[in-house]
Amino acid sequence: MEENMCEENIEEVKGLKAEIDQLRAEVAELQHRQKQNLKDMTFNFRGQMQDALSYVCGQKQVGSKEEVESRLKEEVEELEEDLKRQTQMNGISLTSCTTKTLQSSSRKLVQQLSVSGHCSELVFQVEFKLSDFTSQRSERTISDLNVVMDASDLSSLGSFLSGVEESSDLLLLFRTLRTFSDRCDDRRRTFCHFQEKYPSVVSLPGGCRSEVMTLNRPELPGCVLSINWSVEVSREGGVTPKINLLTKIPEKALQLFPSQAVGGAAEAFQSMLRILGPEAAVESVIRAVSLSQDM
């Protein structure tokens, strides 16, 4: 009987010891996470900002409370100015950025980043892993790139986004988004300009950011010309605007135009594009549809 009780006590002691070891491991993990969180907070800061955060976290004394607040405010203002200049230079505006540490050691730091922002009216969200290796020289690599964009932009960017996700080329992604957005803005400005200048002729069924502008007059029922202005992006990141003229002219309306000119309108428009450029070529077509040289 005593032997059984002794064995039970031994087993109970072993169980308690195992629980204590588990609790110690959990405490060590929490302490490690606390240190890592502090490291994450100060990872991207420098100078006065880093000193201020160290003071707030109780690591070292760097001056009075008022001095710390003043330094912190100055550093935030400097960072805001840096961000403003970067946004003006590259056209990319970031609205949020979150960082999560996946692995940390003396030789390797792996973080999961999620960045949201917009380029003009082009909204994006980018997620990727950033690995920082420290040996003889510091090296950073990007992997597991995932890009989320509005469905309306995927028809032009789908192939490119697939390619850039495979290569994890973040620089190519942002450079191409800027170029694509600039070409779309060129189209929007041109369409809006002509709609305001020729309201009786020009209409934009899909709005200023659509790819199609239609030209027609009440005096020419059934006669519709469409300017189709698409912006295509290759898998390698090449951005190419493509502008085409499409005609829909009934037999009665053909009597008002020289048949040869109407039949070759699309080809003639491409010739004007090469010689005059997009805006002048489009305006020439609008003048022809308006039947007036003074509009």
Instruction: Let me know if 139 is exposed, middle or buried by CB neighbors in 10 A (0-12, 13-18, 19+).
Output: exposed
What is the mean predicted confidence (pLDDT) over 121-150? 84
Please give the pLDDT value at position 95.
85
Q: Is the dihedral of CA 86, 92, 98, 104 positive or negative?
A: negative
Please give the pLDDT value at position 256.
58
| pLDDT tens figures, 63-110 | 566 776 777 777 776 766 766 666 666 678 888 888 888 888 878 888
| C-alpha span between 132 and 139 (Å, rounded) | 6
**Considering the entire predicted model, what is its pTM?**
0.66
The answer to whether 52 and 62 are in contact (CB under 8 A) is yes
pLDDT reading at 182 higher than 50: yes
Of residues 41 and 209, more confidence is placed in 209
pLDDT bracket for residue 156 (50, 70, 90): confident
Angle between helical axes of 65-90 and 47-56 (0-180°, round to 10): 140
User: Could you write out the three-class secondary structure of 50-95?
Assistant: HHHHHHHCCCCCCCCHHHHHHHHHHHHHHHHHHHHHHHHHHCCEEE
Beta bridge partner(s), residue 141: 131
Of residues 112 and 36, more confidence is placed in 112
Please give the pLDDT value at position 188.
93
Q: Report how far apart, in Å, the C-alpha atoms of 154 and of each of 136, 150, 157 are.
A: 42, 7, 5
pLDDT bracket for residue 216 (50, 70, 90): confident
Please give the pLDDT value at position 212.
93
Burial 7-24 (b: 16+ CB within 10 A, else e): eeeeeeeeeeeeeeeeee
| pLDDT tens figures, 122-134 | 888 999 998 888 7
Contacts of residue 82, defined as CB under 8 A and 6 or more positions apart, other chains included, come to none
pLDDT bracket for residue 160 (50, 70, 90): very high
| C-alpha span between 176 and 237 (Å, rounded) | 6
The set of long-range contacts for 270-276, using a CB threshold of 8 Å and a minimum separation of 24, is: 270/244, 270/245, 273/243
Please give the pLDDT value at position 287.
86
pLDDT bracket for residue 42 (50, 70, 90): very low
Please give the pLDDT value at position 207.
87
